[in-house]
Structure 1
Amino acid sequence: MEPQNVNKGDRNKIYFLIIVIAALIGTNGYLFFKDRQQGERLVTVSTEKDKLRLEVEKIEVELDKVNALNLDLNEKLIEEQKLARKEIELLKRSLENNKITQADLEDARRKVAELQTFVNNYNKQISALQKENIFLKSAKDSLENSVRTANDRANNLANENYNLNAKVKTAAILKMQKADIVAYRTKSTGRKIEVSKSSAAEKLSIRFSIIPNELAEKGHHNIFIRVFDPAGNLLANENNRFEAEGQEMQYTHSIFIDYNNDNSTYTIDWTNPKPYIKGIYTVILYTDGATMGKAQLELK
């Protein structure tokens, strides 16, 4: 059988179909590769955004760590941190944009790198500040210990001085060495006669001497006497008051003596405004807020 002849018009149609099919295949291939490249680009951008977000979060954590230290930051460090946190917020918003471009990513990378450099320098400043604070605290503690030690020493010295002064004051108190009480009356001639009966007595005369004491203050000393009758009643005026042995007391009579540590004998005369009664009269002497001693006299 002989092959059939294909006319020229049919041949042209066949060529046209072949060209169309080839064009379709080429177009499909182009679209396939274009879609593949677009997908790869989207994956790359998403991955890059995630990396940048992670770096930004790390930077934010570093700043949070600084705040957790509760350091007393100066105004410069506070202002630098505020600016950094503003930049972080802007970066976060930028990375949330789904239409971010490659140029935007490059800008974000640059800003993240700047923030990382800032945080490194910031941490160095914070570390230096911590060391300074530790040094200052150590110096402050040392100074406080020194002050505390000095205060303790001063308090101890003050207590020792107080105790010493108290001992000296106690040692300097005038004490009676010997005391006698005599009752007497005065005759019309003016002569004094010693008596032993209560009915005849007009005055009491207390004669006393003082134990020699080099520590006692020389000069005038106010001597207070308190007289008690045989019934134990204090014979004193309500307005006559003084302090001795840490309390306020009433006194019967008082005089000044001139003490010179020379074994002098002193005399105090006292007139009872009331009649004397039988029994023992007790006289207690005081000076400089302390008791000097006492003496007694029995009237019949």
Structure 2
Amino acid sequence: MSDQKDIINKGDRNKIYFLIVVIAALLGTNLYLYVKDQQQSERFVTVNTEKDRLKLEVEKIEVELDKANNLNLVLSEKLQEEQKLARLKIAELKLALQKGVLTEGKLAEAQKDVMELRTFVKNYSEQVSLLEKENAALKNQRDSLKEFANAESRKAEELAKKNAELNAKVKTGASLKANNVYIIAYKVKSNGKNIEVTRASTAKKLSVKFGIVPNPLAEKNYHKIYLRIFDPAGNLVADENNMFEADGQEMQYTSSTSISYNDDNTSYTMEWVNPGDFIKGTYSIILYTDGFTMGKASITLR
């Protein structure tokens, strides 16, 4: 009887041990699942946090790239190509982060890509900054050269102006000036003899006589003399085809001749035959040579 009781007790103890093992296994499994769930939750939070950080980092990188491009510099083909590749990579990363399709493995690759982009943008910005400094230096050099050229141009213009003024003075100083200018009116007889008159009704031609003021600067050579005659009404008596230039303007002349100047006190005469009739009043004449006024005179006919 005692042996039978011992067998029963032993069977009960085995059942108890089995239940303890089962309970322990269940507790272990639950603990494992709880820990695993906690780890997965933490990993999910970590992954999402990393995605947000990467998204912010990509946006910062894009802002830095835009900032470098806002300098409006002319980039080399290499820099343009590098920038284009960087833009494509940024667009890919932003799209992947927006869709949330990055796995933990891809997230690690994205982190590597972002690090490479950060390095690229840093180097890119440094190259663009260097290019900006070089352009600024070239601009300063160009501005300096431009200012120097302008200054030299102004000096040249001033020198040319002074030379022109000096040449004008020399030319004026070398021009011939008439002295002892007077006019005689003549009647021309049928035999060709000239008779001095004072009446307009009998006058046929005017004879302008003049000498030359001694001038060592004047060129001893032939000089063209132009004569302008104005009638008592102030009208110029001239052929419209007779043109010359003097005192800085183009004018008509009545008559012209050439004289040989030798600075030897020679007297000269210019004659003008009136194709029409003389009228009563004062006739005025002006002589020109070498582009300047030479002398003036007048005569009154009764």
Q: TM-score, normalised by structure 2?
A: 0.83
Query: Match for residue 287 of structure 1?
Result: 289
Alignment of 1:70-149 (within 5 A): 70-96=72-98, 98=100, 100-149=102-151
Match for 1:29: what amino acid? L
Deviation string for 1:238-287 (max 9, x for gaps)? 44443444444443322111222322110112222334444433222222
**Cα distance in 1, alignment partners of residues 27 and 62 from structure 2:** 52
- Alignment partner of 1:257 out of 242, 256, 259: 259
After superposition, the C-alpha distances for 1:216-238 in whole angstroms (9 at most, x for unaligned) are 33322222222334454444344
Q: Secondary structure at the match of 1:262?
A: coil
Moved more, 44-53 or 33-42: 44-53
Which residue of 2 is the match for residue 228 of structure 1? Answer: 230
- Can you give the 5+ residue segments of structure 1 that lack an aligned partner in the other structure? none
Aligned: 1:37 with 2:39: yes
Counterpart-to-counterpart distance in 1, 2:114 and 2:240: 96
With over 3 angstroms needed to count, the CA separation of the structure-2 counterparts of 1:109 and 1:264, relative to structure 1, is same
Equivalent-residue separation in structure 2 for 1:38 and 1:150 (angstroms): 80
Looking at structure 2, the residues matched to 276 and 101 of structure 1 have their Cα atoms a distance apart, in angstroms, of 120
Cα deviation, 1:174-213, whole Å, max 9, x if unaligned, reads: 2211112223345566554434444544432211012222
Partner Cα distance (2:30, 2:172) in 1? 122
Deviations along 1:147-173, whole A, 9 cap, x unmatched?
111111111112222222232333333
What CA distance in whole angstroms lies between the structure 2 residues aligned with 1:99 and 1:195? 124
Q: Structure 1: which amino acid aligns with 2:77?
A: E
Cα distance change of structure 1 residues 7 and 99 upon mapping to structure 2, 3 Å threshold:
farther
Amino acid at match of 1:274: G
Counterpart secondary structure, 2:293:
strand
Q: CA 1:215–1:121 in structure 2 vs 1: closer, same or farther (change >3 Å)?
A: same
1:137 deviates by 1.6
Please state if 1:205 is matched with 2:207: yes
Identity value in percent:
58
Structure 1 distance, partners of 2:97, 2:281, is 116
Residues in 2 aligned to 1:104 and 1:138: alpha-carbon distance in whole angstroms: 50
Taking the aligned partners of 2:300 and 2:100, their CA distance within structure 1 comes to: 122
Find the counterpart in structure 2 of residue 272 from structure 1: 274
User: What secondary structure, in the 3-state scheme, does the structure 2 residue paired with 1:93 have?
Assistant: helix
CA distance, structure 1, for counterparts of residue 36 and residue 232 of structure 2: 135
What is the letter of the counterpart of residue 261 of structure 1?
D
Change (3 A) 1:232 1:52: closer
1:159–1:31 CA distance, 2 compared to 1 (3 A): same
Match of 1:64 in 2: 66
TM-score for both structures, normalised by structure 1: 0.84
Q: How far off is 1:293 after superposition?
A: 1.6
SS of corresponding position for 2:284:
strand
- 2:195 and 2:170 map into 1 onto residues whose CA distance is 43
Amino acid at match of 1:212: P
**Structure 2: runs of 5 or more not aligned:** none
Equivalent position of 2:220 in the other structure: 218
Return the offset for 1:39.
Answer: 0.9
Aligned to 2:298: 296
